[in-house]
Chain A
């Protein structure tokens, strides 16, 4: 919690998964925690169900809004296949939080290509620290599939030098009142899921 060194966080997934809101919640939390922060995203054509990526950098002073390839400390993949698309941004000590949900790209949906089944293995083979989270199932249990993004923010929050209460405060300010409860539960559930996995990692 006391690590004031900045980090580069790459968030990727599919248009429509709530990546922009997730990265906004995160950058606001960094700001509240006293960091400089830059958050980069792309709008327009890219959002139509295509692959979406957001760059998030925080620290004492941040210049470039773009993460330099090979320097992302954490990747949060909202979809499994997408975790493999941006590997060039990672380094050998990167942590990858992967939502194990699969969303078929058009070529797979129409039977032209197959969905690669060995993605988690590929990541582990590169000796990356992989934290798989079944965010869709967690969100479904909470009765709101659209809360997948907050489950993943919760999982990521455990790795960040920002107190839990700061995140909850940001959620309160940013999420409409009628969705606040489910988003808060999703955040906490994601945090717990990642916590349980971290324990497993430690014991190994």
Chain B
């Protein structure tokens, strides 16, 4: 497919960039979300359009409520989140299905099969079924744009929120996309009181419940002729029903087969499915994760193959599809043999490392949370013992405390990042105060949402659009909910942090320790020319390995044999020494104070 022939401009966009572009072309007025891989870039790109109000909300529930409000005011609105974010937003989702919309409302759910950057791989197609709303599922960036625009039309035509589901390989894959002009401006938003539609008192909700049933029936009939549900006629021996990314793997593995591609994965086009099933000898359903399509096809009484052979977890690829269908493994592959793993690690200069080093020395049970700092669970710090969902650390620490009673004192702490605390940690803290707990909570305040690539949040003083705004004072907030012992400290100074930590975990009252230091990767931190640089004086290093316990990527262990050790003026039996990479060292000064032998020193004349 050559691009030069057409006069429409084609550009290379990721699925997420394409969705943002679609919102612009569809005349969206309000967009909201909370950062989460693989969805983050949707809102980041949307924020660059001047005509769209775009915000990072404190969490996904608020994000969907903001978008729903905009829709009730008659504007087109979009809310975007990762798969687990939709769990947080499920409350407004289920009832927005009852109210329906005024302006088109589209909710993007970005799922993460294979858990590249997630704690579970739930299949959010199930939300479409459970909440009784239609769901579209694009296969690539070009479809991501087209489908998102179509979703706004469906939303208004059928008076319903519409889910658009992507997966990592749709969100983060770049492909060619044709740009179109934004559609003509829509009627200006305005207030209209519609209590029967918008006030879900039981009496109204019961009426709307009936409306939902009618709507979904209409949508199911519409699905049979909907242009996004498409039959590609091919070899009649084998036919596939598939959708989203799986469609591309099927086309790659079986280019000649017949395919029914579902652009709308809920509700199902039953007539189309029956007709397609009759037209092929063997019917396969190929989908990642749950047997969502398969269960429905089977419930229609149609015989098909699918999850008996297609894996129900992890990502698929063409090879996985081919071997599932043919039952053959495929050609043998080269093997790497045993090579050292390269897991992700906290960055050099990461402020989290200092406080986690202090925590690791105390041998506490650490109720953890979601963020870069979850990497502290890995060796050598090994200082995190739970990670479940956003904000869970605090409530779970309280639960442990209540189960253990006074035995928990001095043994259990909660650790949570600043963005995560604002997202859903505050209510947990209130619970500790309200229910007379004594858990110690550490809030890692690195002034940003780190893991997803530096998004501002309500405690940073900046909006998504880069405007200055009020910043939550986390210390005051903690005091306001009733915590009397709140201490802010510098996490790079782990000895001082350890002292405060030792005192607070023994306190039979709630306490909060805020470790305040910006993420080492923030541009304003990287640009600082006054960052220090450290080095190891080899002759002074005894090879005790204490500095290595920080797990800093800049500190290396250099093995020694007897001859070299003697040549370097070290004891013949010393088996190695530490070295600091001048390229990687960030100058955080966490390691130098740990060295009892004064072997780690600051380099005086250096350039940054």
Chain A residues close to B by CB (< 8 Å): 14-15, 24, 27-28, 31, 34-51, 60-66, 68-70, 81-82, 84-90, 104-111, 113, 115-116, 122, 126, 145
Contact = CB atoms under 8 A, between A and B. Distances in A.
B248 A105 contact: no
Nearest to A23: B174
A81 B339 contact: yes
Contacts of A34: 2-4
B521 to A, nearest CB: 9
B375 interface: yes
Nearest to B543: A111
B169 A65 contact: yes
Given A61-B1, A64-B249, A66-B318, A50 B116 contact: no
B345 interface: yes
Contacts of A62: 175
A69 B319 contact: yes
Contact of A27 (B12, B339, B344): B12
B306 interface: no
A35 B12 CA distance: 12
Interface residues of B, number: 61
Contact of B318 (A48, A68, A84): A68
A97 B545 CA distance: 36
Contacts of B335: 87-88
B334 A88 contact: yes
21 contacts: A34-B4, A35-B2, A41-B172, A43-B38, A43-B40, A46-B117, A48-B345, A48-B372, A49-B347, A60-B1, A64-B248, A64-B318, A66-B169, A81-B339, A88-B334, A104-B556, A105-B341, A105-B343, A110-B551, A111-B559, A122-B337
B252 A63 contact: yes
A70 B10 contact: no
Given A34-B3, A64-B252, A65-B175, A50 B372 contact: no
Contacts of B200: none
Contact of B344 (A40, A46, A108, A115): A46
Contacts of A105: 340-343
B346 A31 contact: no
Contact of B557 (A69, A70, A87, A109): A109
A42 B168 contact: yes
Interface residue SS majority, chain B:
loop
B234 to A, nearest CB: 14
B7 interface: no
B216 interface: no
A20 to B, nearest CB: 10
A90 B334 contact: yes
Tell me which of B3, B340, B556 has the highest count of chain A C-beta atoms within 10 A of its own C-beta. B340
Contacts of A116: 339-340
A84 B548 CA distance: 27
Given A64-B251, A64-B318, 13 more contacts: A27-B174, A28-B12, A45-B37, A49-B347, A86-B336, A88-B333, A105-B340, A106-B553, A111-B548, A111-B557, A111-B559, A116-B340, A145-B583
Contacts of B405: none
Interface string B249-289: 10110000000000000000000000000000000000000
B342 A82 contact: yes
Tell me which of A24, A88, A104, A111 has the highest count of chain B C-beta atoms within 10 A of its own C-beta. A111
Contact of B252 (A37, A44, A68, A81): A68
Given A15-B344, A46-B116, A37 B334 contact: no
Interface in B522-555: 545, 548, 551, 553, 555
Question: Which 3 residue pairs across A and B have the least CB separation, nearest first?
Answer: A44-B117, A44-B37, A111-B557
Interface in B1-45: 1-4, 10, 12, 37-38, 40-41
Nearest to B38: A43
A41 B174 CA distance: 9
Contact of A85 (B3, B41, B336, B347): B336
Nearest to A60: B1
A150 B252 CA distance: 31
A140 to B, nearest CB: 11
Interface in B315-349: 315, 317-319, 330-331, 333-337, 339-347
Nearest to B175: A38
B576 interface: yes
A48 B117 contact: no
Given A63-B252, A65-B248, A88-B336, A42 B173 contact: no
Contacts of B40: 43
B569 interface: no
B508 interface: no
B436 to A, nearest CB: 37
B451 interface: yes
Nearest to A42: B116
A16 to B, nearest CB: 9
Contacts of B583: 145
Nearest to A119: B339
Nearest to A104: B556
Tell me which of B252, B315, B346, B576 has the highest count of chain A C-beta atoms within 10 A of its own C-beta. B252
Interface string B227-258: 00000000000000000010011011000000
B319 A68 contact: yes
B155 to A, nearest CB: 28
A82 B342 CA distance: 9
Nearest to A111: B557
B510 to A, nearest CB: 31
